Structure 1
């Protein structure tokens, strides 16, 4: 068990001979082609043009693998050793595509860039370890090919992504970001900022005790955050609506709900009641304007309507808390 934990059953890359290095290169190209095709498959519905780019990149990896297999066959025969990345200590790893879903354009582009850089370094190191001129040339050529993948991606982008297609895919990515993060986060911020006004200021004016008011605000904020987060997760799995991962939406909602409530609860850590209350009111003012700005920036709500809705709603809830607290 301890040997597995400390990687003793893995081989160091420096200990591999030419046959093992070549077999490792073949399996690595197979994995990379599979990953590119997985990216293409998962992007095809929302980003068909980018999916075509990754499909062609997978085809190029297939070409590299074919060259490596032919070189292996000529030097070592038909039986290819079964050696993979996870068998080599310190060798770069690839995260399975199913661990990084849902896939987004920025995420897969960054992953592809990292894949190309790692593969290029591998081939450069592998070329140093062989004395065979033909094999060394092949590995050097593959290193150059991996290093030029950035220009390949650019050429494929020019082929598949004209200005209209890029604008379309950027709009889709923006919409997905709004649905998964902005909209749930905004709902949480509004709920946390507005719904906790009444209990916090009611407690403040009823008790005149800043510590007790803080405890009420802390409980209201955390309780609302947990409730809103679980409600968002349970309300929609995102499959039909296309709103993305329910866990991500739930975290966005829960965290922003808690932040919205704590914003005007934290000032009551100040012992002086009126100082704490004045700061809390100022924080509420800032929170409401931030909500209006987000609505205008991401939800395309006109400034006038966003301001009226948020400020009016906040003022009514704040007045409710004051009235009840002074009753």
Structure 2
């Protein structure tokens, strides 16, 4: 009887190679993670450089992450009912996208719970770097993008948004 039950490595292979898994979970999750990680950089770092106040940065970052998560959830959930593309239930995709957008924006907001803004910025830089590498790894693993090219693309995009936030915050 136990011969018919797949072991963990077989389940892992099924999940990794299942086109449906990629279309319904990985792609909307990655879109959300990318959007949350990158789109919240400008308001968070602009606020940090403009106010030098960790509490204010945390509030702006939390609001940005929540707002972006809600927006992306609705955007994905209303974009396609799944019947033409095979991308699955739009409500589920919306929830995945919204949650991952929130997580992507909120992770680099968390360091601003530290009262010293310079210490918080140092931690936030590290978190952003980790987020960008994770995004590049996911793209490499599931979408067969060269890891080096993926890192370059993600870092350039994130760098442009970060630079905009710093320039606006210092003006």
Aligned 1:230-241 pairs, distance under 5 A:
230-241=74-85
Paired with 1:304 and 1:289, the residues of 2 have a C-alpha distance of: 10
Determine the structure 1 residue equivalent to 2:73.
229
* TM-score normalised by structure 2 residue count: 0.91
Determine the structure 2 residue equivalent to 1:143.
none
1:304 deviation in Å?
A: 1.9
Paired with 2:140 and 2:28, the residues of 1 have a C-alpha distance of: 15
**Is 1:265 aligned to residue 109 of structure 2?**
yes
1:223 deviation in Å?
A: 0.2
Determine the structure 2 residue equivalent to 1:216.
60
Q: How many pairs are equivalent?
A: 163
Does structure 1 conserve the Cα–Cα contact (< 8 Å) formed by 2:81 and 2:89? yes
Aligned CA distance change for structure 1 residues 171 and 219 (closer, same or farther; 3 Å) = closer
Determine the structure 2 residue equivalent to 1:324.
168
Paired with 1:269 and 1:218, the residues of 2 have a C-alpha distance of: 11
Determine the structure 1 residue equivalent to 2:91.
247
Determine the structure 1 residue equivalent to 2:9.
none
Q: Higher helix proportion, which one? A: 2
Determine the structure 2 residue equivalent to 1:284.
128
Determine the structure 1 residue equivalent to 2:50.
206
Render the CA deviation track for 1:203-259: whole Å, top value 9, x for unaligned.
010001100010000000000000000110100110111011111111110000000
Kindly report the root-mean-square deviation, in angstroms, between the aligned alpha carbons of the 2 structures. Answer: 1.7
Paired with 2:79 and 2:15, the residues of 1 have a C-alpha distance of: 26
Q: Secondary structure at the match of 1:301?
A: coil
Does structure 1 conserve the Cα–Cα contact (< 8 Å) formed by 2:16 and 2:142? no
Q: Secondary structure at the match of 1:271?
A: coil
Render the CA deviation track for 1:158-204: whole Å, top value 9, x for unaligned.
xxxxxxxxxxxx59961100000000000000000001000000001
> Taking CA–CA contacts closer than 8 Å with sequence separation of 6 or more, which of the two structures ends up with the larger relative contact order?
2
Paired with 2:119 and 2:95, the residues of 1 have a C-alpha distance of: 33
Determine the structure 1 residue equivalent to 2:144.
300
Aligned 1:139-218 pairs, distance under 5 A:
170=14, 174-218=18-62
Q: Secondary structure at the match of 2:86?
A: coil
Larger-Rg structure: 1
Paired with 1:275 and 1:172, the residues of 2 have a C-alpha distance of: 39
Aligned CA distance change for structure 1 residues 203 and 240 (closer, same or farther; 3 Å) = same
Structure 1 segments (4+ residues) deviating >6 Å:
none
* TM-score normalised by structure 1 residue count: 0.48
Determine the structure 2 residue equivalent to 1:128.
none
